[in-house]
Amino acid sequence: MNSNNLNDPITTIIRRDVFRKNGFIYKIYQDWYKLVKENLQFQNARVVELGSGAGFIKDHIPGVITSDVMFLPFIDSVLNGANLPFPNHSFDGLVMIDVFHHIPDVDRFINESIRIIRGGGRIIMIEPWMNPWSQWVYSNLHHEAIDLVTEDWRFSSSGPLSGANQALPWIVFDRDRKLFEEKYPALKINKIVPMMPFLYLLSGGFRNNISMPAFSFPFWKRVEKIFFNTKKWGMFGLIVLEKIR
């Protein structure tokens, strides 16, 4: 897809319509939102979501503040993760789905996240994850850039959705984990859980003409669980960071 089209808000509005029509991908996101909710530290947590896009997290966490870097008619706030317009220690949770690998300046984002999260609060994200299988898939079947060997956590962004390094979450939280822990002693990595080796492929992503039927989702989810080692094959990772009290 043309990068200009990706960065056009109309593309995200169209994707919201795809959510309604593609029941398989809808169920995937339902599972992801449930994981996010399960990993929030506090009941009735005050939560902000970055990069809400076409999603529907409010169905699972009704009080969440939704946001994006561009105006969309179904979000609460337009903001940039490198300069968050919130007071210090004002949130219990910050959540992101497929957003971190689009952030061109990780250090500014993490410092802002630490500032607005209170002690014990969590940053919860679901992101592309790297292993030989997922590297092949992302390199050959996905339009976003992937750079596994860069020494720099920053990259030059062509736009909020077109700019990306799919390997960035793996680089920061796995390959460079020791560096992350040294730079950010206020945060601890609570968990990293690789998951979903092939379910997303069966959904066809946001291409509405390529998808397994929604009713088959429980069957394929069970097949994935029985026959695939998610740690070895997972295409995505649940990453939970916690601010030390």
- Buried b / exposed e across 111-132, counting CB within 10 Å, b at 16+? ebbbebbbeebbbbbbbbbbbe
Residue 46 banded pLDDT, cuts 50, 70, 90:
very high
DSSP 3-state of 121 = strand
pLDDT surpasses 90 at 2: no
Burial of 161 (0-12, 13-18, 19+ CB in 10 A): buried
| Residue 167: per-residue pLDDT | 98
Mean pLDDT of all residues in 210-238: 93
Digit-coded pLDDT (tens) for 101-156: 999 999 999 999 999 999 999 999 999 999 999 999 999 988 899 999 999 999 98
Residue 209 banded pLDDT, cuts 50, 70, 90:
low
CA atoms within 13 A on the CB side of 165: 21
Burial of 8 (0-12, 13-18, 19+ CB in 10 A): middle
pTM for this structure? 0.94
Question: In terms of pLDDT, which residue wins out, 116 or 20?
Answer: 116
| Residue 206: per-residue pLDDT | 67
The domain tally of the chain equals: 1
The CATH number given to whatever domain includes residue 147 is: 3.40.50.150
Structural domain span for residue 223? 3-243
